[in-house]
Chains A and B, each alone.
Chain A
Amino acid sequence: MTLNDSHLRSEDVNVWFGERHVLKNVSLEFPSNQVTALIGPSGCGKSTFIRTLNRMHELIPSAGFGGKVLLDGEDIYGEGVDPVKVRLKVGMVFQKPNPFPTMTIKENVLSGLKLSGRKSENAIELVETSLRRASIWNEVKDRLNDPAISLSGGQQQRLCIARSLAMDPEVLLMDEPCSALDPGSTRRIEETILELAPQMTIVIVTHNMQQAQRVADQTAFFLAEDGNPGYVVEFGRTEQVFEQPIDPRTNDYVNGHFG
């Protein structure tokens, strides 16, 4: 793994909310077409960190930021960079499924285009490919014009993934995408992640160790101790982090001794 083939990279990312320092010097590399899992106990800043990767955290009024996030070598926090453009390339799926309730399933898939003011020549085709990539096509192909909220929670989440995929992002961020879902839906989303992995860079926050082991090529372990800002304790290949962790705290966490 050389520096140059790195698609997305964070350099000394620091985050503050008001005066509170919540994330300290996080430097991670997310190589192209690999899945990176961010694990760690609640409140360690991993959700905050994933939001810095597409500039969603700056929507919180008191947020502050220091450091660099490089996407294809360009700092997304650089001067004159439009956060809207960044989010077109770096899609995001949230913890709670959030399909747009006033739109149909089809409109939800196409909502990204509409929202970014673009036209699609072959909308019907795009709807099908996106839904297929999120492996939900077979379940919804006969009810594309039903309201999106008529779907089950797991289906809604896969619809949200399809909605992001329709924008053809280079990076897909997933913030605990399965934490509100049942085991069956979780499995289907994990399968989707594995199918997508060869085509894009994926970063996933998860509380589920088994999930990290099942889907991730590499894993970063975050920790925030006693009111100190969160930082990365260990970062490496998933097998190594889980089987031969260097830091004893990683060992304790992945084996369920705390957190």
Chain B
Amino acid sequence: MEKIIDLSPVARPVGRESAPWSRIQLKTRVAVAFASVVPAILGLTVLLLTGIDFMAMLFAVFLPIQVIAAALVGVLVYGRRGVLEGLLVVVTIFCASFIVVLLGSVLWSVIANGSQALSWQFIGQNNYYIKPNTSLEYGGVGHAIIGSLLIVGTSTLVTVPMGLATAVYLTETQGKTKGLIRTLLQAMSGLPSVVSGLFIYAAFIASGITTYAGWTGSLALIPLMLPTVARVSEEALRLVPQELRNGALALGAPAWRAFMLVTLPAARSGMVTAVLLGIARVIGETAPLVLTTFAADRTNLNLFGGAMASLPTYLFGFISMGFDESIQRAWGAALVIMILVAILFTTARLASRTRTTARK
């Protein structure tokens, strides 16, 4: 029997018709809509009528009603097992929104307060001749931005090779002291930053070897940054499949070439994350810098000569003065730190996109 092959294309049904699994009964929709709106309306009504505290309303009125409503909808849609389903949906959404609101409010307060101080002059000028109550039209954080970049940049230049070397030791070699190194790294990540600063202060400044100087600040940041960089890059290298290393070695590559040409490129984005997290760990550090680089009003480009300002110490200095203008400056500095971190992270991410993914 001859079989005729039908070559005409079959049109894809429009919208939900082509995805039968996403069809939702009208009854369910109505129930979900009610359960989403009614508790909120009830809560707001109680809030307006009795005038109780918003948080009290949230936990005492809204949440219980919402939980009951969700459980009812759950039963309506799924039967008995729906009770737990409804409860879990409410708990999950509530906790998630809580975190989002928290994060959002932190961001918002920095942006709202900081943006009043922010201007090109605030970013560009330094703090010379500025008194605590000088109006915001004068002075700025230029010297502190430069200081922060110099201090953190120097720490990064020293720490990244050290952290990478540690990670290589932990993943690529058969060294015998791996356990010890891991323990030390863990201990290091628990080191309070002020202790690190005090140590450098005692070792180099109190002992008279140097006066306050930028390089002592960089030095104090290294032990804070190193564990983060080492642990995250260790994880990144561990994710590279063993087959790739074997492939490279089987081609007659010495171990270090196999690492440089195959393993490291494969772990590239993880390595960038390691560096970024390391920078993020120290860029806001205040205590070690107060003790080592101190504070300065003028721009200082010399890491080896004299006190050097940085954004956290600038912020700390002005917020402790207590004038309206000085607090404004502190908020401004906080916003500048956030913008600086955002710029650093975005550029690093864009620059580190691998060729293969970039082309797609």
Cα-based distance from A41 to B101 in the complex (angstroms): 60
Beta-carbon contact of A112 and B252 below 8 Å = yes
* Closest 6 pairs (CB-CB, A-B): A115-B253, A88-B252, A147-B356, A92-B250, A112-B251, A102-B265
Beta-carbon contact of B247 and A102 below 8 Å = no
Beta-carbon contact of A115 and B251 below 8 Å = yes
Beta-carbon contact of B174 and A61 below 8 Å = yes
0/1 interface trace, chain B 247-284, chain A, CB 8 Å (1 if under): 11111111001100110011010000000000000000
Residues of B whose CB lies within 8 Å of any CB of A are 174, 241, 243-244, 246-254, 257-258, 261-262, 265-266, 268, 354-356, 359
Given contacts A84-B254, A115-B257, A147-B356, A100 and B249 within 8 Å (CB-CB): no
Beta-carbon contact of B257 and A117 below 8 Å = yes
Residues of A whose CB lies within 8 Å of any CB of B are 54, 56, 59, 61, 84-85, 87-88, 91-92, 94, 96, 98-104, 111-112, 114-117, 147, 149, 160, 163-164, 167
- 6 new A-B pairs (CB below 8 Å) besides A102-B262, A112-B251? A84-B254, A100-B248, A101-B356, A112-B252, A163-B251, A167-B252
Residues of B within 8 A of A164 (CB): 250-251
**Smallest Cβ distance from A259 to chain B, in angstroms?**
26
Beta-carbon contact of A115 and B243 below 8 Å = no
Give B360's nearest chain A residue, CB to CB.
A147
Residues of A within 8 A of B356 (CB): 101-102, 104, 147, 149
B251, B253, B254, B354: the one contacting A91 at CB < 8 Å is B251
Residues of A within 8 A of B257 (CB): 114-117
| 24 interchain pairs, CB-CB under 8 A | A54-B250, A56-B250, A59-B246, A61-B174, A84-B254, A87-B252, A87-B253, A91-B250, A94-B243, A98-B241, A98-B247, A100-B247, A102-B265, A102-B266, A102-B356, A111-B248, A112-B251, A112-B252, A114-B257, A116-B252, A117-B257, A147-B359, A164-B250, A164-B251
Cα-based distance from A94 to B251 in the complex (angstroms): 12
Residues of B within 8 A of A101 (CB): 244, 266, 356
Cα-based distance from A84 to B252 in the complex (angstroms): 5
Q: Which of B252, B258, B354, B359 has the most CB of A within 10 A?
A: B252
Cα-based distance from A149 to B265 in the complex (angstroms): 14
**Smallest Cβ distance from B59 to chain A, in angstroms?**
50
Beta-carbon contact of A115 and B248 below 8 Å = yes
Residues of B within 8 A of A85 (CB): 252
Give A112's nearest chain B residue, CB to CB.
B251
**Smallest Cβ distance from A71 to chain B, in angstroms?**
13
A59, A103, A116, A149: the one contacting B251 at CB < 8 Å is A116
Residues of A within 8 A of B241 (CB): 98
Beta-carbon contact of A114 and B261 below 8 Å = yes
Beta-carbon contact of B252 and A59 below 8 Å = no
Residues of A within 8 A of B244 (CB): 98, 100-101
Beta-carbon contact of B246 and A98 below 8 Å = yes
**Smallest Cβ distance from B355 to chain A, in angstroms?**
7
Residues of B within 8 A of A114 (CB): 257, 261
Cα-based distance from A164 to B248 in the complex (angstroms): 10
Residues of B within 8 A of A91 (CB): 250-251
**Smallest Cβ distance from B249 to chain A, in angstroms?**
7
Cα-based distance from A164 to B252 in the complex (angstroms): 10
Residues of A within 8 A of B265 (CB): 100, 102-103
Residues of B within 8 A of A104 (CB): 356
Beta-carbon contact of A100 and B262 below 8 Å = yes
Beta-carbon contact of A96 and B243 below 8 Å = yes
Residues of B within 8 A of A147 (CB): 355-356, 359
**Smallest Cβ distance from B171 to chain A, in angstroms?**
13
Cα-based distance from A101 to B265 in the complex (angstroms): 9
Beta-carbon contact of B243 and A98 below 8 Å = yes
A61, A87, A102: the one contacting B250 at CB < 8 Å is A87
Give A101's nearest chain B residue, CB to CB.
B266
Given contacts A54-B250, A115-B258, A116-B251, A102 and B355 within 8 Å (CB-CB): yes
Beta-carbon contact of A84 and B253 below 8 Å = yes
Given contacts A102-B355, A114-B261, A160 and B247 within 8 Å (CB-CB): yes
**Smallest Cβ distance from A47 to chain B, in angstroms?**
12
Residues of A within 8 A of B251 (CB): 87-88, 91, 111-112, 115-116, 163-164, 167
Beta-carbon contact of A111 and B261 below 8 Å = yes
Beta-carbon contact of B261 and A59 below 8 Å = no
Cα-based distance from A87 to B359 in the complex (angstroms): 34
**Smallest Cβ distance from B133 to chain A, in angstroms?**
57
Give B254's nearest chain A residue, CB to CB.
A84
B246, B253, B261, B359: the one contacting A56 at CB < 8 Å is B246
Cα-based distance from A103 to B251 in the complex (angstroms): 15
Residues of A within 8 A of B262 (CB): 100, 102, 111, 115
Residues of A within 8 A of B253 (CB): 84, 87, 112, 115-116
**Smallest Cβ distance from B352 to chain A, in angstroms?**
12
Cα-based distance from A147 to B354 in the complex (angstroms): 11
**Smallest Cβ distance from B45 to chain A, in angstroms?**
58
Cα-based distance from A165 to B257 in the complex (angstroms): 20
Give B257's nearest chain A residue, CB to CB.
A115
**Smallest Cβ distance from A13 to chain B, in angstroms?**
19
**Smallest Cβ distance from A215 to chain B, in angstroms?**
21
**Smallest Cβ distance from B237 to chain A, in angstroms?**
14
Residues of A within 8 A of B250 (CB): 54, 56, 87, 91-92, 94, 164
**Smallest Cβ distance from B356 to chain A, in angstroms?**
4
**Smallest Cβ distance from B248 to chain A, in angstroms?**
6
Give A114's nearest chain B residue, CB to CB.
B261
